[in-house]
Each structure stands twice: as C-alpha cells, then as structure tokens.
Amino acid sequence: KTGEQKRSKEPSSSQCMHLAVVACGDRLEETLIMLKSAILFSNRRLCFHIFAEDSLKPEFEKKLKEWPSSYTKKFEYNIYPITFSVGNAQEWKKLFKPCAAQRLFLPVILKDVDSLLYVDTDVLFLRPIDDIWHILKEFNSTQLAAMAPEHEIPKIGWYSRFARHPYYGTTGVNSGVMLMNLTRIRNTQFKNSMIPSGLTWEEMLYPLYQKYKNYITWGDQDLLNIIFYFNPECLYVFPCQWNYRPDHCMYGSNCKGAEEEGVSILHGNRGVYHDDKQPTFKALYEVIRDFPFEDNLFQSLYYPLQSKFLDTVHTLCGRIPQVFLKQIEKTMKKVYENRVIVYLGANHRY
C-alpha cells in the first residue's frame, strides 16, 4: 500500500474513464466542483485519481461520501499522497504552484492505467467526458498525448513573445487539460537536448528540469512544451473549446471552435472563479457548485445560469453567452431525453 484509499475493486481500463487531478493548499472545493461537473453529465463509469496533501485526504473522503448514491455509483476514487519518483521532491514541490509538477509523474505512478485525462482543479466539464475520451481513438501511431494551444494568436501569445526556452508549435500548448496514453508514454524513447540517444519519460524529467530551470516561468507546463518541441510527432493538438480560458474572450472572441460548437471544457485559470474580473466564468462555477444533485438540470442549473449571465453583459466574455451555453444545453437535452426514454420504457405496457 502506498497510502492510497480505494473505494472498491478497480475495474479494467476498458470499462472506466480515468480522470486525474492534483489538489494542494486551498483547492479542495474547486476540485470537488470539477469532479461534480464530471459526473453530472458523463455516461460511462469514471475512475478518479486524486493526488492530495495528507491534510486534505479526510476532507475529500467526507465530502465524496455525502454525495447521493445515484451519483456515487457512477464513479470510484483513489486518493494518493504527493510523491516525486526522481530528483529532489522539495524542488518539484516549489515548481510553479505547490504540487503542480505531480502531473509529470502520472505515467510512472499509475503503472496499471492505460489512458488518462489529467485536468487542473479549476476545470469544469460542460459535456460528457466520454466525448474527449473518444479523442484517444483519433491518435495516430506516434501520438501519445493531447493538449490545446496556449493561445490562438501568436502576436498576443505568451510563449511567442516571452519564452526563453523551446516550446511546441507557434504558441505553445496549455497543460491544464491533458489526455494521455500512459502505456505509450512509458514505452517511448524521447528525443531530447541532452544526449544524442533517446530517454524514457522518467529518465528525462529531472535532467530536463536541471537544464532549463532558470528559463522556465510556468513550471511543469514549460517542461511539457520543451518535451513536445523535441518530439512534435508525439502530440495531438485538440481545438480551443476543449480548454477554454479567459484569454479566449477577454480581449474579444478568438476561439472559433467555441463560437461554432460551444465550450466543451471551461478552464478558469487566473483565479477567475473567485474574483469579479470575469463574472461569466464565476457564474458557471457558482451554479454548478450550488446545484442540488437530485434536482432538475434545466430548472436548477440552466435557468439560474441564464439569469446570472444577464449580469455579465458589460464584459467581453459576457457578450457571447451562447458560447458558454451551447454545449451545456445540448448535454442537458440528451440527459433529459435518455431519462424520459428509460422512464417510458420501464412503464410501457403492451
């Protein structure tokens, strides 16, 4: 045992969609709201891998047990301590935000998991995880991870203007939503800037950090950008609606995919769920947080959201409510239709 908490026997990967998150400091509530958004809409069973500081573990267990059984039967969870398998643990802990570097070690720690979706604590799902999980099937023979671009427009992107290290593509990639084929990651020899031959993922992490530590600003995300700069054939890039951040609307709408299809995954970075700078993001967070599990989705989630959005029209993000509402409305209709069909089927008599 490594101190992890198991709820029940782990089903095989084929039955389960694996979701990992790393929670430290004051991120308990944010993480729980993210997990709640995941189970509200998903169809297939979920396996949560929660990496947390020891002090948070009892709180997670207590809160998750309070959820109604109609929802707790849709998922199971493991809680793991924060551990770094190579290099100096204190250095890794201090990299960017507390414990954020833990995500780099998921292929090493979760040896029995084939594929995984990693998300930051400040992520909200506005449609079933099943839909992003299907992207794994779109990987070609060399791709082993998927992320969205850090920015859509190079001239206002952070990496294209300020980075002092190699990064992927023209604008870099954002690691807040990262789909991974862990089996492929474990079996690949990665090209790198340190030695002529390839290195495994685990062999590469600490030397890479040592080489670039004076040049990186965004911690583990920068290291991932460096890795995929040298191994671009390993990365599948998914569109911005799968990792939609304030940057996509606060200077004017610049995520075409979200305009057409709606936001699939909302990423409230910059702390926007907790201040008043981007009220549209905060509204979504609060409505999902306050939604009573067993209630009607349209009545207790969608309508409150619509009315909250009316108070955000003074912001650029608030002027495009349909971008935020399109997927969530579609998802709710599907959930409602499925329930009606199941209900009618159960009550139909010939």
Least confident piece of the model among 24-33, 49-58, 148-157: 148-157
Decide if 146 contacts 224 (C-beta within 8 A).
no
Q: Is residue 260 part of a domain?
A: yes
Same domain, 198 and 312: no
Same domain, 190 and 252: no
Please identify, among 201, 221, 238, the residue that sits at the C-terminal boundary of a domain.
238
Half-sphere exposure of 34 (CA within 13 A, CB side): 28
Q: Is residue 76 part of a domain?
A: yes
Vertex 98: Cα angle to 97 and 103 (nearest 5): 85
Same domain, 253 and 166: no
Same domain, 89 and 208: yes
Q: Is residue 5 part of a domain?
A: no
Same domain, 232 and 265: no
CB neighbours (10 Å) of residue 155? 8
Query: Given pLDDT bands bounded at 50, 70 and 90, which one contains residue 84?
Result: confident
Which pLDDT tens digit goes with each residue over 87-100?
Answer: 777 777 777 566 87
Q: Is residue 322 part of a domain?
A: yes
Same domain, 203 and 263: no
Same domain, 128 and 196: yes
Please identify, among 195, 220, 238, the residue that sits at the C-terminal boundary of a domain.
238
Please identify, among 173, 207, 238, the residue that sits at the C-terminal boundary of a domain.
238
**What is the residue range of 170's domain?**
17-238
pLDDT exceeds 90 at position 315: yes
Count structural domains, the chain. Answer: 2
Q: Is residue 233 part of a domain?
A: yes
Return the pLDDT at 347: 56
Cα–Cα dist 19/46, whole Å: 7
Which pLDDT tens digit goes with each residue over 266-314?
Answer: 999 989 999 999 999 999 999 999 999 988 888 999 999 999 999 999 9
Helix (H, G, I), strand (E, B) or coil at 116: strand
CATH of the domain at 74: 3.90.550.10
Q: How far is CA 103 from CA 151, 245, 255, 296, in A?
A: 21, 20, 26, 35
Q: Is residue 304 part of a domain?
A: yes
Q: Is residue 267 part of a domain?
A: yes
Cα–Cα dist 91/227, whole Å: 19
Q: Is residue 74 part of a domain?
A: yes
